[in-house]
Amino acid sequence: MATVERLTTELVVPAEETPVGAVWLSNLDLAARRGYTPTVYFYRTDGKPGFFEADAVRDSLARALVAFYPLAGRLGLDGAGRVQIDCTGEGAVFVTARSERYALDDLLNEFVPCDAMRDLLVPATPAPNPPCPLLFAQLTRLRCGGVVLGLALHHSVVDARSAAHFVETWASISRGGGGADAAPLPPCFDHRLLSARPTPTVLYDHPEYKPEPAPPAHAAGAGSAAYASAIITLTKAQVTALKARCAGASTFRAAVALVWQCACRARSLPHDAETRLFSMIDMRARLAPPLPPGYFGNAVVRTSALATVGEVVGNPVGYAARRALAATSQGDDYARSLVDYLEGVDAMNLPRSGISRAHLRAISWMGMSLHDSDFGWGAPVFMGPALMYYAGFVYVMQAPGKDGAVALALSLEPESMPEFRKVFAEELARLEM
């Protein structure tokens, strides 16, 4: 039985006239997963009149779409069949909904990223092919008066940093931070900053963009859509202790190293099996020269590090952290090599299936401040992915309301998750000794 009733669906167009025409997409845009990325923001009611009143949210969205006008357009094709953004101004899809079943705390206790929650809290989206909308938003009012803002943005148009940039601008406008053109950081849509070089020069292998070989027997079921998901929080003290065991590692690398180690144990993989840690690295500040701070598009590259299961589980967690560093330290030459490599392949039809059961894919959302998503009624009490695409995903995020704490949203095979929870809890307990 549905527990959310959708009340209205409409198109929200920019509040002012906006440019028309096409926005060229880079090879990194074309290589991104062709689909929508669903996220959810949970807000506790502040008891004040006007709390997330639909007209106010709709009005601030219309004003935000003036600066971010491509999001009011449609995915399109140029004369050669290459995907682009057609800036038509047709609008973003805005849905209002309500739930008489859920109060905020009930939903927070029950929520894990999964298909069922995505279907409840994020609008349904069409096939992600031209000519589809690029932005869907759903405002769901809960029984207690709290709300959930569910978003789905097309990944061919934005990465996580750009999505956060848009939400932060929308929230700032809603708080009263200026008119339609008052983006705190104006977006830059010049994707030709990531064009291939006149003479492509591929210096690296880039296995992350190639079909994965047939998995060995221990990795049977690779790419399965079946997964169990969880949200696990590490306290500030646990993070500090973990980083002390991973000398020089960032919070992201240290947390991922522990997840990688525990996942290998929970999956009961042979010690001589290969396990690969995939990651996505934001290259904006790593390029020479760096991209403009407001670069709006996909500026992340897939990287990975390879080890044997025995190396990951048989060494202190600092070893896995050092391997994680190898997957997250690439610079300008690597990114330019990748863009050039993608120029020579069909970037719009790269393999985008799941990963082998021996592998893990880690994504950092650490730089996204929840306080920047304050629409005028307080920061969200939770923000995260609405679903996981397959087993073997982990997002590392700042835990809401807990300075220095980290939240992990992760997915594993259903049969592996109970053992993972057990061994991960044991490792956290050791950190506190």
Residue of 154, 155, 206, 359 with catalytic role: 155
Do residues 179 and 318 touch, judged by C-beta distance below 8 A? no
Q: How far apart are CA 220 and CA 200, in angstroms?
A: 37
Asked about 155 being catalytic, the answer comes back as: yes
DSSP assignment string, 223-250? T-S--EEEEEEE-HHHHHHHHHTSTT--
Strand partners, 337: none
Q: How far apart are CA 124 and CA 207, in angstroms?
A: 33
- The secondary structure element, H or E, covering residue 75 is strand 74-77
Strand partners, 75: 85
Torsion (CA) 330, 334, 336, 339 in degrees, nearest 10: -100
- Other Cβ atoms less than 10 A from the Cβ of 75: the count is 20
Q: How far apart are CA 174 and CA 297, in angstroms?
A: 23
Do residues 205 and 303 touch, judged by C-beta distance below 8 A? no
Do residues 406 and 397 touch, judged by C-beta distance below 8 A? yes
Q: How far apart are CA 189 and CA 116, in angstroms?
A: 34
Residue of 105, 106, 282, 374 with catalytic role: 374
Q: 243, 226, 237, 189: which is closest to 24 by C-alpha?
A: 189
Q: How far apart are CA 149 and CA 432, in angstroms?
A: 36
Asked about 206 being catalytic, the answer comes back as: no
Angle at 216 between CA 214 and CA 217, to 5 degrees: 130
Look at strands 92-98 and 135-141 and give their pairing.
parallel
Q: What is the DSSP letter of 404?
A: T
Type of residue numbered 69? Y
Alpha helices in 81-131 (DSSP H): 104-110, 115-121
Q: 38, 238, 18: which is closest to 118 by C-alpha?
A: 38
List the catalytic residues: 155, 374
